[in-house]
Amino acid sequence: MKAQDFIAIIAPMAQSEQRRTGVLASITIAQGAIESGWGTAAPGNNLFGIKGSGQLQATQEFINDQWINTVAGFRVYSSWEGSVIDHSQFLVENGRYARAGFFNCCSQLDYVGAARCLQNAGYATDPNYAAKLVQIIQSNNLDRFDILETKEEPKIEEDEDMKPLVYDADWKWDQLAKSLDGLYHAGLLENYNWAEQASKREINAADALLIIATMLARQNGVKL
């Protein structure tokens, strides 16, 4: 798989995990690239070489200043997305990474410092692991994915003709007072106090319901 194809697939997952856990997307992508050879060597969809009991796999480790061949157990996932999520969770749940300062560096968008913290905390035995991560990030401009876009709330354009109905409570009271005054002079409202109370903003919810019920009853010929 080409590097750019791998990046296009992993980047959205890595950014989603950065929002959830704080692990820099650039670090996630770079680690996946190193550990899986840009997605070409990921048995069991394990992109990050996280060990476990799902499968046995031949690997190399740097021990006593030399590379040795060994066989170890590794985790298995149903998809690359599952591997990306578990990678972030692995870093969160293993306190040695936080103690090494990894998440502090991530919060400052310092991928160089974060890479060094991963190595210092023992993520990999390769003594050049941090330098390799930084080189991949810089050569592919992966730190651009660390800048997460914030979602802005859509702006609602105000219609000047409708604004009084939505925002102007005084307008509503004035309209109610005028309506009650008109009903009184039309003979549909016996007590002018309703209009006066409306003009003074003194009608409560119960009064308003009573007025509405009275108007409806009279319009339908109900004697009150």
The answer to whether the CB of 145 falls within 8 A of the CB of 15 is: yes
State pLDDT tens for residues 56-73. Answer: 555 555 554 544 555 456
- What are the structure tokens assigned to 155, written together? 């702006």
State pLDDT tens for residues 163-216. Answer: 433 334 566 667 777 777 777 777 766 677 777 777 777 777 677 777 777 777
Enzyme catalytic residues: 61, 86
Question: Which domains does the chain show, CATH number per domain?
Answer: 3-146 (1.10.530.10), 163-219 (no CATH)
CA–CA gap between residue 102 and residue 97 (Å, rounded): 6
CA–CA gap between residue 14 and residue 29 (Å, rounded): 7
Q: Residue 72, SS3?
A: strand
Residue 129 pLDDT greater than 60, yes or no: yes
DSSP 154: P
